Structure 1
Amino acid sequence: MKVRTTIRPDQELDVDEAEYTDLQRQGLLLPGIHAEQFDIAEQVASEAAKPKSASKKEAE
């Protein structure tokens, strides 16, 4: 299963059940809602980093 941790929220880790349980016990798992928010923020940042086309600049 893939999880995100509080240590490296930008990386998805592939863990087995034992590792998942251990991470959960230690409080290191990023809750699902926070992982979704991170994905959205990452997508917005990548779109903002893309150069705008010349036609859009001319229209402004």
Structure 2
Amino acid sequence: MYKTILTPRVSETDAVGHINNTTVPVWFEAARNPLFDLFTPDRNFAKWKMVIVKTTLKFTG
């Protein structure tokens, strides 16, 4: 399992410090890079071997 430590930026929070729901997909994008490096270490798009086709988020509260 891969782990990525993310530090929330002020722009990703609201006035009371809650993480904005639009931030989560951005964090997923940042965390996927180590997986891409497994398949295409030089990140040359001409040789790209892995694509994330769909990401679904379900917020419950």
TM-score normalized by structure 1? 0.32
Larger strand percent: 1
Larger helix percent: 1
